[in-house]
Amino acid sequence: LLYPWLVRQFGRLAPIRAAGVVSVDVVLSTIIRVSGNQMISISLFHGMLIDMSVPVLVPFFCSL
């Protein structure tokens, strides 16, 4: 519901940043609708990067 507001206030990348790892699948259609087709590759890359970094970053921060 807030994605159109996020785009108006913070730009076209804001919904991708807010979605996090689910920007790959769950909310991709909403991101495309509010941000445009140009954001598909950025959204996919962002979600996959976050998903792949979890096994590395969680043990690191737990060991601190």
Q: Are 50 and 20 in contact (CB under 8 A)?
A: yes
Long-range contact set of residues 22-25: C-beta below 8 Å, sequence gap at least 24: 22/47, 23/47, 24/48, 24/51
Quick one: pLDDT at residue 23?
A: 92
pLDDT, average across residues 14-35 = 92
pLDDT band at 13; cut points 50, 70, 90: very high
% pLDDT > 90, the chain: 92
Q: Is the pLDDT at 58 greater than 90, yes or no?
A: yes
Q: How confident is residue 7, by pLDDT bands cut at 50, 70 and 90?
A: very high
Could you give the 3-state DSSP secondary structure of residue 63? coil
pLDDT of residue 8: 94
